[in-house]
Structure 1
């Protein structure tokens, strides 16, 4: 009878050394710590140096933040991570430098605008109210802004959209280059030039001031913005979508209206809103072509009108405490107007966007 011999495999008494792949790294809260230390150093240096400007304190703190982030990361981790941290720190500093003035502007406008902003202010005009006294409202300026911006949008959006479609889908040769050149030139036209152009037409044909003339000047300023933004959005539509539609025998015009434009609708709407925000605060064309009015005029085709930018300039020119309050309140209304338009546009773009 044979016996089975079992041989035991010798075991190692102690495991051999293992090479660790882990390296030292900073904790996740390190950027917040760097920021806190930078603020302390910036404020301390500002107090010691006697700097009265808080802007100087902020700039020095931002410089400390970038330097500390790079230095500590280079010492603890490695130079590659330090360069990455440096780029991230610069991005955050630029973001803060852009946001702080915006928040400051909004804060000042809200704090000073709410003094007289109420239902009475929004539903009454300045008819019969002396500019240096309290009272009155902004209703006539709101009506003028809505009508003038609305007419300018109705004129400029179809022209801008069709021009962009031509440049992207059909434009070739000298004509397309000429259109592109003039669109670029019109983008930089000052608002006063557009107002003077329409004013010369008014004088030639002996036309009276009206909201329509101001809307046409605003449309001149709005068209190049709509063309450029729409053109860029249409270029982002993949060519595969066009080719697939054309391969099915769909005409090109129907491909553009059913495939290309709906795909880029979100970006087009955003561009239109940017154009509206660009013209909503214009004052010079309104001064030249609409003349302003203290009364409520709901007819943009006849008679002088007011607008929110013109109302702000008008009240600030009076120079009294009451007029300053009305000017800040009107500025707050204008900001709210642009914000509401952007929210509505984003909702429409999301609603009309193609479903994936």
Structure 2
């Protein structure tokens, strides 16, 4: 077949830079439409640009490459638009938090508590809130992680019949429980025993929220372990419990650890249970089993509620928000690092 015949069969194609040119033209036209229509919101300009990009891509591709190829290009353009719609708000959120949070975020802010500092006065810090968050989230993890992992092991390795289906159903239900409901449940128990707010009560509510996430993630990781490994171990006469302990868990430990770390990141920002059960404390309290404590989400809520949109409390709220984002980001990076470190190594 000649080169001319192959070129004819391929048909006309848009150059590789065409999507960028269409996107640039769409943005420019959207700005012109926004200014002409008196639209002040950049969000509206962005939505107009997205619509123009999709429509323009289809129109130009259909004229040059044909309708069949145009459908493929419009699908690709929709994926890019959806990606930008997801990323732009996230980047904007992080940017605003960083710009406003760095105003008072320094070593003094991280190593001092509010103490006798009023919300309207400058100074103070989040040391007491960091201690409260670490203790409450740590205790919740010590409760939820073993229970969640053992539940997942039962569902995957032993669970059969109605009991397994009932556990799976309740785990699914617990996954969608609002955090305030978990807080109210623990609060009702505290009222029965006439107990005052304390840090461990918040840990119990956070453990309830964390448990189904650990169960689901661990269950999926255990299902990825090849059955051949289990059968080979059992064929050698190794008991089932020892096969799980020495074969199944080491193979999936990276994914299990990642799931637990992501569950920790999920509960680290919960405010409602802490507000109900821990109550908040401007002073340092290192004992989670006695007296009210603070936490980073609760500190952010209280500072912003007392700031009236400006002042020292407003700046402290943003600085604490930046600290909480950094904490969650570190947990995610640690989870990714553990997943790569414990990933099964393939031979050459």
- TM-score by length of structure 2 reads 0.93
The answer as to whether partners of 2:214 and 2:260 remain within 8 angstroms in 1 is yes
The answer as to whether partners of 1:46 and 1:57 remain within 8 angstroms in 2 is yes
The answer as to whether partners of 2:139 and 2:200 remain within 8 angstroms in 1 is yes
CA shift for structure 1 position 94: 0.4
| 1:195-236 per-position Cα deviation (integer Å, ceiling 9, x unaligned) | 111112122223332211110110011101111122222223
| 1:286-340 per-position Cα deviation (integer Å, ceiling 9, x unaligned) | 1221111011111112211100011011111212511000000000000001111
* Residues 169 and 44 of structure 1, relative CA distance in 2, 3 Å threshold: same
Which residue of 266, 271, 284 corresponds with 2:259? 271
Which residue of 155, 161, 166 corresponds with 2:149? 161
Which residue of 275, 279, 283 corresponds with 1:295? 283
Name the count of aligned residue pairs. Answer: 341
The residue number in structure 1 matching 2:13 is 25
CA distance in 2, matches of 1:93, 1:45: 19
The answer as to whether partners of 1:269 and 1:346 remain within 8 angstroms in 2 is no
| 1:105-164 per-position Cα deviation (integer Å, ceiling 9, x unaligned) | 101111110000001000000001011010000000000001100110111011111111
CA shift for structure 1 position 98: 0.2
The runs of 5 or more residues in structure 2 that have no matched partner are none
The alignment partner of 2:6 has SS state of: coil
Is the aligned partner of 1:114 residue 2:102?
Answer: yes
Which residue of 311, 315, 322 corresponds with 1:332? 322
Which residue of 193, 210, 216 corresponds with 1:228? 216
CA RMSD in angstroms, aligned pairs only? 1.7
CA distance in 1, matches of 2:324, 2:48: 35
The residue number in structure 1 matching 2:36 is 48
Q: Which one is further off, 249-258 or 148-157? A: 249-258
CA shift for structure 1 position 34: 1.6
| 1:237-257 per-position Cα deviation (integer Å, ceiling 9, x unaligned) | 333333333333333223323
* Residues 17 and 245 of structure 1, relative CA distance in 2, 3 Å threshold: closer
- TM-score by length of structure 1 reads 0.91
CA shift for structure 1 position 78: 3.3
Flag as ranges the 4+ runs of structure 1 deviating above 4 A.
16-19
The answer as to whether partners of 1:262 and 1:353 remain within 8 angstroms in 2 is no
The answer as to whether partners of 2:262 and 2:331 remain within 8 angstroms in 1 is no
Which residue of 244, 247, 250 corresponds with 1:259? 247
The answer as to whether partners of 1:26 and 1:76 remain within 8 angstroms in 2 is yes
The runs of 5 or more residues in structure 1 that have no matched partner are 1-15
Which residue of 39, 42, 47 corresponds with 2:27? 39
CA distance in 2, matches of 1:182, 1:223: 11
The alignment partner of 1:296 has SS state of: coil
Is the aligned partner of 1:343 residue 2:333?
Answer: yes
The residue number in structure 2 matching 1:74 is 62
CA distance in 2, matches of 1:67, 1:91: 14
| 1:50-92 per-position Cα deviation (integer Å, ceiling 9, x unaligned) | 2111111111111111122222222222333222211111111
The answer as to whether partners of 1:315 and 1:323 remain within 8 angstroms in 2 is yes
CA shift for structure 1 position 264: 2.8
Larger radius of gyration: 1
Is the aligned partner of 1:237 residue 2:225?
Answer: yes
CA distance in 1, matches of 2:148, 2:316: 36
Q: How do residues 162-177 of structure 1 correspond to structure 2 at under 5 angstroms?
A: 162-177=150-165
* Residues 256 and 80 of structure 1, relative CA distance in 2, 3 Å threshold: farther
CA distance in 1, matches of 2:325, 2:301: 15
CA distance in 2, matches of 1:51, 1:270: 45
The answer as to whether partners of 2:279 and 2:294 remain within 8 angstroms in 1 is yes
The answer as to whether partners of 1:262 and 1:354 remain within 8 angstroms in 2 is no
